[in-house]
Amino acid sequence: QVQLVESGGGLVQAGGSLSLACAASGRTFSLYAMGWFRQAPGKEREFVAAIGRSSRSTNYADSVKGRFTISRDNSKNMVYLQMNSLKPEDTAVYYCAADETLYPHNRYQQYDYWGQGTQVTVSS
């Protein structure tokens, strides 16, 4: 079992930045690829970014490439999402997820563990 807790959401103006964090506990964190997903009201959950076990591999949705950066610190059992140049369409609840696999991927159905989510609101 892995427990995930997100933090760092909030309200920001368009063009601003936010940094999300996800704290993991339970099984060995370094066994898991980690992902960030988001869900806006009335919309499907969508992939944002993912990072492999050792940070060598990352994967981003086209909509956030060049603006968001995913990173992890296996010594602290943490994964981060730095979000820059935020847009109103980035408004959503952001979820951290873990999958016991080597490579980062965007298939949310395969992620085994999920956090409760943190709200990000970008005003225009």
Rg of the Cα atoms in the chain: 13
Cα–Cα distance for residue pair 97/84, rounded to 1 Å: 21
Residue 64 DSSP code: T
Read off the tokens for 66: 């060049």
pLDDT digits (tens, 9 = 90+) for 2-35: 999 999 999 999 999 999 999 999 879 999 999 9
Across-strand partners of 22?
6, 79
pLDDT tens across 32-83, in order?
A: 999 999 999 999 999 999 999 988 999 999 999 999 999 999 999 999 999 9
**What are the pLDDT digits (tens) for 96-115?**
999 999 899 999 999 999 99
